[in-house]
Homo-oligomer: A and B are copies of this chain.
């Protein structure tokens, strides 16, 4: 049977207000009746109707997810999907649920922020989106708890892998442990922030360590995928009669393409050249040769973001621009010696 607080109030000989109080842990209720109500509620399986509660209390225990499709990065993208999955698991344990933010409600087009107001979401998690997207900037400027990953947005908390450290670990390994001399880089599109940071770190590393910088050893892939890796490697090979001893690659997807190109050119990995990727996608360890790479901790990213957001929702509500860096680790496999 469908019940309201009124039903359970009369059934218990109490008033609706009291029921509401015990449910919301607010106001004074004697321990005795509190327990009585709680027991009864559990017994009959009563749950407050979310819509009515939302109407009054102006919140929804729901977190909006920005997963823009404009970038044609959908849920198919395992990296983001995985972060979202881990985020989801965590917030659900805390009693929140997820709802995808859309920019259209029925007929009406609306901004992310309008949608949030309309749905009364408690906070938003920006998984995929562009830092200069108007909708996202509006969100950042309004007073609604926000956490992002991957992209960094002025004014809001971001949880992101320690890209710098990943590159430094890789480079230390190549230059120091392996004592190599020349390390090239094949980066992903530099308009993407993460790729840019990785590239920057590489450049800085060479500079601060007074290592030679060779322009032809720097190639920017035209896109994110395997094929662009193949193309980038082809270009590198073409332009360099003498190849570097190692290549740092901006992402595993691209790196696997690089490996493919190398194989087609009969260049042996890791004997002729060593390769290090970034991400540790599931397939990295299955490829032949398996790929040495910087592992991003998707579980920790998702959970850290979840914790940060819930904390903002339940406590401060204070928005602050923090960059939370999640540690990465270099996984050594066959593509390096």
What is the interface of chain A, defined by CB distance below 8 A to chain B? 2, 42, 45, 47, 49-52, 54-55, 60-62, 69, 74-76, 78, 81-82, 84-85, 88-89, 92-93, 95, 97-100, 102, 104-108, 110, 114, 117-120, 226, 256-257, 260, 263, 282-283, 286, 288
Contact = CB atoms under 8 A, between A and B. Distances in A.
B55 A118 contact: no
B99 A97 contact: yes
Contact of A55 (B55, B61, B106, B260): B55
A61 B286 contact: no
A98 B95 contact: no
Given A52-B55, A76-B78, A97-B100, 9 more contacts: A49-B118, A51-B51, A54-B54, A61-B106, A74-B89, A75-B84, A95-B105, A98-B100, A226-B282
Nearest to A100: B98
Nearest to A52: B55
A94 to B, nearest CB: 9
Nearest to A95: B106
Contacts of A288: 260, 263, 288
Contacts of A256: 286
A76 B81 contact: yes
Question: Which of A42, A50, A75, A106: most chain B Cβ within 10 A?
Answer: A75
Contacts of A117: 2
Question: Which of A93, A98, A114: most chain B Cβ within 10 A?
Answer: A98
Given A92-B102, A107-B95, A118 B50 contact: yes
A260 B285 CA distance: 12
Contacts of A45: 108, 110, 114
Question: Which of A52, A62, A81, A92: most chain B Cβ within 10 A?
Answer: A81
Contacts of A97: 99-100, 102, 105
A47 B95 CA distance: 28
Contacts of A55: 49, 51-52, 55
Nearest to A38: B107
A226 B286 contact: yes
Contacts of A85: 74-76
Contacts of A47: 105, 108, 110, 114, 118
Contacts of A260: 286, 288
Question: Which of A76, A105, A114, A283: most chain B Cβ within 10 A?
Answer: A76
A257 B288 CA distance: 11
6 contacts: A49-B118, A51-B52, A74-B85, A75-B84, A99-B100, A226-B282
Contacts of A52: 51, 55
B88 A100 contact: yes
B89 A82 contact: no
A107 to B, nearest CB: 7
A260 B290 CA distance: 11
- Shortest 7 CB-CB distances between A and B: which pairs? A51-B54, A74-B85, A75-B81, A75-B85, A95-B106, A51-B55, A76-B82
